[in-house]
Structure 1
Amino acid sequence: MAGQLSHFRNYALGEHIYSLDRYAAEYRRYLDILERRLAGCDYILGDYGIADLASWPWVLIAKPLGQSLDDLANVSRWRAAIHDRPAVRRGIELAEDLRRSASPTDEERRILFNQSARS
């Protein structure tokens, strides 16, 4: 859901109120489920693993997606614990200079969207 929310917040042109509301609500629901899952355990399946690696990037971007983690103590703890892992820190630092700081240009949108196998 975070990917769809990100698409409508960051890439889609025009007003998309229904889409933004729907995906923001679903994303929040997933964060709430994760909050309950992390109650009493350090990681999603108990030990640090692929489920954490796959989920963490989507939680990392909660604030830019308009979602606060202030009332999600377990998710906040988990997010920080993974963020502070040395290998994760190295991975974050690798791409710091590649992060987007503005909306995509029309040319970037042309490349990213509305292509078919023939284009």
Structure 2
Amino acid sequence: MTITLHTWNTPNGRKISVALEEMALPYAVKTVNITKGEQHQPDFLRISPNNRIPAIVDADGPDGQPISVFESGAILLYLAEKTGKFLPASLRDRVPVLEWLMWQMGGFGPMPGQVHHFRTVEAEADRHYGLKRYSEETRRLYGVLDRRLAQVEYVAGDLSVADFAILGWAWRHERHQVSLAQFPNVRRWYDALFARPGVQRGFAVKLDDLA
């Protein structure tokens, strides 16, 4: 049976397409055009009550019964548990995966997302304040990531769902007005991930309605 990925071409959407490809799970894409407000439609709200993409419906869920999952971090953990891939079995080894996944969900996503927002604000005073505040915090987070990756190959040691989560946002570093040349360990990690066929397929799959 196939997983249905309800999504759009955003960092959070790309996290899941990359994970599905890396885990070799069959899936179908159902686009949710957030520029047209489709995330507010009743059918989508039934599986994603926070009206945010992505969400999945797994026809072959636990005990063989269908299940829907919303929030990208929860989806990544669900898929990892389902497949037994990219999430260590031992609690000790699992802790850094959970730490860095939560780091992404709580900071390295919301903060760069504010940079995206304030770059489009028309009022000069508001744009300047917002960009300064959130750009500084975004660069601080890139520094945290760079220092971590100076010690390990992947953020939790071995490749994990935490890497897929963070990569979805690092993919938009140019929008964050961040040069990866200033974060050489992030650059090395980023290039290594994008050399993986599964990651390439995950970013190549069409996640929007645009030609």
The TM-score by the shorter chain falls in which range?
0.7 to 0.9
Match of 2:80 in 1: none
Q: Distance in 1 between matches of 2:209 and 2:174?
A: 19
Residue aligned with 1:66, SS: coil
Runs of 4+ with deviation above 2 angstroms? 12-15, 95-99
Match of 1:93 in 2: 204
How many pairs are equivalent? 98
Q: How far has the Cα of 1:98 moved from its partner?
A: 5.7
Q: Distance in 1 between matches of 2:171 and 2:207?
A: 14
CA contact (8 A) 1:38 1:75 kept: yes
Q: Distance in 2 between matches of 1:67 and 1:75?
A: 11
Structure 2 stretches of 5 or more lacking a match? 1-110
Match of 1:55 in 2: 166
Residue aligned with 2:180, SS: coil
CA contact (8 A) 2:138 2:176 kept: no
Match of 1:9 in 2: 119
Per-residue displacement from partner, 1:41-80 (whole Å, max 9, x unpaired)? 1100001111111111211111222111112110000111
CA contact (8 A) 1:9 1:65 kept: no
1:67 to 178, 181, 199: 178
Q: How far has the Cα of 1:13 moved from its partner?
A: 3.8
If the length of structure 2 is used for normalisation, what is the TM-score?
0.43
Q: Distance in 2 between matches of 1:98 and 1:27?
A: 30
Residue aligned with 1:28, SS: helix
Q: Distance in 2 between matches of 1:76 and 1:34?
A: 11
Structure 1 stretches of 5 or more lacking a match? 100-119
Match of 1:83 in 2: 194
1:39 to 124, 135, 150: 150
CA RMSD of aligned residues (A): 1.8
Q: Distance in 2 between matches of 1:24 and 1:65?
A: 7
If the length of structure 1 is used for normalisation, what is the TM-score?
0.74
Higher radius of gyration, 1 or 2: 2
Q: Distance in 1 between matches of 2:131 and 2:188?
A: 27
Q: Percent identity?
A: 40
Q: How far has the Cα of 1:30 moved from its partner?
A: 0.2
